[in-house]
Amino acid sequence: MNARTGIGRGMPAINAVLRKTWRDPISFWTALSSTAACFAALFAGWAAFETRQAELEASRATRASVWLQLLNQYESPEILASMKELRNWQQQRPNDFENAFEKLLVKSNRTEEEQHTVDALDLDRRRVAGFFTTLQILCEGGIIDENFAKKSFGGSTYRFLIDVEIPMQRAKAKAMVETKSMSVEDETNAEKRNEEVIQFYQRVLH
């Protein structure tokens, strides 16, 4: 009963406001503009939300596409053959692998067979290094989730980098310094890069 009485008593005041609004064009249009602004703000907020969702979906799709391309590259015959050849050559001389590669690189009077070996090993080295450098850059740049790498590559990949790839990178740098193709400062920077690679893959894969 009291509620109804309260509403009844409030109605004249509301009606008075409405009549005043309708009689006063300025008040009417002000009220209408405020209402329109509220609706516009609501629609803008919803549009921004939808845009953000679309951007997130597009970003996820892009990352998935990049990751699939990397996996396909890793599983390509070229990468697999390069990793196999480098590992085989390393296992033939496990005690002086790095030194043997450096000496072969700096040797001036190579035989035809030695030249073929140098060219093949260096090509394999660059191909594998390029792949893992790309993977690291994409992970550190947030393009690829590191968990993807952790689940797809394991300890054997880490051991390959430590046992084969990094020693070959060091041997290449030393050989270039000896043949005056690289400065000592460049070699130092290259070694810093090697350490960054080791730290990254130790954290992600080891």
Same domain, 16 and 112: no
Q: What is the 3-state secondary structure (H, E, C) of the chain?
A: CHHHHHHHHHHHHHHHHHHHHHHCHHHHHHHHHHHHHHHHHHHHHHHHHHHHHHHHHHHHHHHHHHHHHHHHHHCCHHHHHHHHHHHHHHHCCCCCHHHHHHHHHHCCCCCHHHHHHHHHHHHHHHHHHHHHHHHHHHHHCCCCCHHHHHHHCCHHHHHHHHHHHHHHHHHHHHHHHHCCCCCHHHHHHHHHHHHHHHHHHHHHHC
Same domain, 47 and 81: no
Instruction: Residue 193: give the domain boundaries.
Output: 76-205
Q: How far apart are CA 86 and CA 103, in angstroms?
A: 16
**Residue 61, domain member (yes or no):** no
Same domain, 28 and 98: no
Going residue by residue through the chain, which has 206 residues, state the pLDDT in tens, using 9 for 90 and above: 444 554 455 556 555 555 555 555 666 566 667 776 676 667 667 666 556 665 556 666 777 788 888 888 988 999 999 999 999 999 999 889 999 999 999 998 999 999 999 999 999 999 999 999 999 999 898 888 888 888 888 788 999 999 999 999 999 999 999 999 999 999 999 999 999 999 999 998 87
